[in-house]
Amino acid sequence: MTPPLVRSRTLFVSLPPMLADVVVVVHFLIVLFVVAGVPLVYLGAARRWPWVRRWRWRVLHLGAILMIAAESALGIACPLTVWEDALRGRQAASGFIERWVDRLLFYDAPAWVFTAAYMAFAALVLITWIAVPPTRAARNRA
């Protein structure tokens, strides 16, 4: 049996990579939200899903892509990427989650390619805002 002190050191040593995995998963979910949001709005409008026109959801979606595009245009590194790198000590990803999610999220291309893609996608989200405008919920007055 391993003494408790050794076990706690092992947990402390393995905690940063585990937190880095959590950051990667959160990063992936944000990317999924931003990318899947546009087709879901059009599909939802066609199928008359009321949630795709909800103001808060649409503002959050628009704000997310505008923040991503602004960071890229200003040359600011994504805070989630910076946080993950810090947790990993800038070591290459080697675990299951990192290997597969990193392959989906990160590509080797010049920075201008990503900036152009983010700007184009932000424009698409703005066009979607106009094509399928959000509605504000009616407030009940007592």
* Count of structural domains, the chain: 1
6 lies in a domain? no
Q: Which helix (H) or strand (E) holds 94?
A: none
Which pLDDT tens digit goes with each residue over 104-113?
666 677 788 8
127 lies in a domain? yes
1 lies in a domain? no
pLDDT class of 96 with cuts at 50, 70, 90: very low
Distance, in Å, from the CA atom of 28 to the CA atom of 98, rounded to the nearest integer, reads 11
Domain that holds residue 44: 12-131
The more confidently predicted of residues 33 and 115 is 33
50 lies in a domain? yes
Reference 22, options 92, 95, 72; nearest CA is 95
Reference 118, options 54, 58, 73; nearest CA is 73
- 9-13, 18-22, 59-63: which has the highest mean pLDDT? 59-63
Phi, psi of 132 (to 5 degrees): -130, 80
47 Cβ contact list (under 8 Å, min separation 6):
none
